[in-house]
Chains A and B, each alone.
Chain A
């Protein structure tokens, strides 16, 4: 399969706001290393999951890939060159091909636009269709995402429909320009269990129908299992393990991955967790630990781990792990 998009050593450091006294005493400028050297590629037609706990940099990575943020350094190569060197005109065309679905369907929709207007808005912006033609296109799409009867819902406002329907509106709006790549940032985190499975099924069906490629950002490992082909586990701004979902989930190599998988509460009362859960929480991304960033919490850590920062190394077919031990314990 052809590569659609390639991320190379992407970094984003947010400067910390300094107070008056800090300026006065010329304290050193500090940064939050939200994304600190991330590389991966996405093939056409696949779903890559970007999984991690809050604050690991997964959302920042997603925003960088869409160029909603400018990076500190690194490249996102799409169509032969880095999108950060695209001209304004090139960016406009790129926006059509790269779309996004955010977590909160309440905040993503203008309360002053009807559902039909909201979905049709990108057509207007990109000059793809007008008038009756646009309306027909929107109605068509509404039916495809399950917003039925379309002619009735077209004139409704977001507050008049349920949360699940609102998320369908957001999805339809993302697809109306016929993109090839969609970043879905926690698209089902706000939904209830029964709505969640419906939205997930819809995303899977639309991927086939529209020939899409997804970057699926989530903190929910159990859900990612149903949609992702490959998965990248992030910790403190870095990818610690990346590989085919089945392999990573059944044979995790990085101690962080296995901890994360073990911590997910299993909906089976007979199941009891045996894997040790580390104490403490994610350290600060301002002063990340030296060497391997997971070493202070790792139950396998040796003295080397605090000194040497492990690079991603191949441990199986397409399965890469950033751990000094590489599963050899």
Chain B
């Protein structure tokens, strides 16, 4: 399969008054054409920062200090802003957690669609843009009349579908979805996941699905990348990660999620708290909480080791 996006040794820093937050520390990630990659981890692990840095949407003072982000071979990390503008939306789109704060409350939905379309294609007429928006909404199962409504007239699930409609109207090939179902209720979440699954085929999408919800990735993702403390713990295909997690963090994480279908009497708990990224621990960032810690873990940062077709960043496999 073709690689659509390749991130190499990415470092993102946020210099703040008490030091520098090393939010992303040397991340490698590869997205293949047509796959759904689940990027999972707990809050503060750097997963959203990674997503934002692909489109260079980091809020100041965040900056990419090292590394490459190759999209079809072109480095987004060093691209001119103007060139990047034409890629955003046209080629790579993003949807966010909170659809209410992503839509402008003062404008009708059709106006927001038309603005998006016309920004990228000034030649297109208003009517054509409107028709295009109506067409996208139909593919999402929304009647085009709702284009004439304002965001507050819609429910949360509807707004999130409008957001994905806006992300798809320019026909991108890569969609970055940052916690797209976190603000939705479980039935609406299930509807949205079904929709996303249909859309990926219909629009031939590659999706980077950023979430803390392992249930969501299990149902949608082809491969999974687990992040911890600004680094990648493990990457592999979904089934093998769930069946046989290699990294001790992945093992702990999977054991601590509640599963409605399983008859497990109690949940596993992981001691300790995630690392302080201003002053990360030396060696492996997970070593202070790791049940299988060795001497080398405290001194030297692990490299990406390959095992059973997976990449795992842990000295156990070195």
Contacts and interface: CB of A to CB of B under 8 A. Distances in A.
28 contacts: A54-B185, A192-B42, A192-B274, A193-B256, A197-B270, A198-B269, A201-B267, A201-B269, A219-B185, A219-B186, A220-B258, A222-B258, A222-B259, A225-B260, A226-B258, A226-B266, A263-B186, A265-B215, A265-B219, A266-B215, A266-B219, A267-B257, A268-B218, A269-B239, A271-B218, A272-B219, A273-B190, A277-B190
Contacts of A200: 267
A196 B216 contact: no
A266 B220 CA distance: 11
Interface string B201-219: 0000000000011111011
A221 B186 contact: yes
Interface in B263-292: 266-270, 273-274
Given A192-B42, A197-B269, A267 B259 contact: yes
Contacts of A267: 214-215, 218, 242, 254, 257, 259
A264 B155 contact: no
B253 interface: yes
B231 interface: no
B54 to A, nearest CB: 23
Interface residues of B, number: 43
Of all A-B residue pairs in the complex, the 4 with the closest CB atoms, nearest first, are A265-B215, A222-B258, A263-B190, A192-B42
Centre residue among A198, A223, A259 by max chain B CB count within 10 A: A198
Interface in B201-252: 212-216, 218-219, 221, 238-239, 242, 252
Centre residue among B185, B191, B253 by max chain A CB count within 10 A: B185
A268 B238 CA distance: 9
B143 interface: no
Contacts of A54: 185
B100 interface: no
Centre residue among B253, B257, B274 by max chain A CB count within 10 A: B257
B229 to A, nearest CB: 12
Interface in B54-71: none
Given A194-B270, A266-B219, A281-B157, A53 B187 contact: yes
A328 B156 CA distance: 34
Given A192-B212, A267-B214, A277-B191, 20 more contacts: A53-B186, A192-B42, A193-B42, A193-B212, A193-B256, A194-B256, A197-B268, A201-B266, A222-B215, A222-B258, A225-B258, A261-B260, A266-B218, A266-B259, A268-B242, A269-B219, A269-B239, A273-B190, A279-B141, A281-B185
Contact of B188 (A162, A193, A197, A281): A281
B125 interface: no
A249 interface: yes
Interface string A193-233: 11111101100000000000000000111110110000000
A164 interface: yes
A287 to B, nearest CB: 15
A265 B191 CA distance: 11
B193 interface: yes
B26 to A, nearest CB: 23
A15 interface: no
Contacts of A270: 239
Contacts of B43: 192
A268 B213 contact: no
A175 to B, nearest CB: 20
Interface of B: 42-43, 141, 155-158, 185-191, 193-194, 212-216, 218-219, 221, 238-239, 242, 252-254, 256-261, 266-270, 273-274
B185 A268 contact: no
A282 B215 CA distance: 23
Contacts of B214: 193, 267
A194 B252 contact: yes
A278 interface: yes
Nearest to A277: B190
Interface string A254-296: 0000011111111111111100011101100000000000000
Nearest to A54: B185
Given A267-B254, A269-B238, A226 B267 contact: yes
Centre residue among B221, B238, B267 by max chain A CB count within 10 A: B267
Contacts of A262: 190
A184 to B, nearest CB: 16
A192 B272 CA distance: 12
Nearest to B261: A266
B260 A193 contact: no
B260 A222 contact: yes
Contacts of A266: 215, 218-219, 259-261
Centre residue among A193, A197, A198, A262 by max chain B CB count within 10 A: A193
A260 B260 CA distance: 11
A162 B155 CA distance: 34
A257 to B, nearest CB: 12
Contacts of A269: 218-219, 221, 238-239, 242
A280 to B, nearest CB: 9
Contacts of B212: 192-193
Nearest to B260: A222
B191 A260 contact: no
Contact of A271 (B194, B213, B256, B261): B261
A263 B268 contact: no
Contact of B253 (A193, A279, A281): A193
Contacts of A222: 215, 257-260
A223 B258 contact: yes
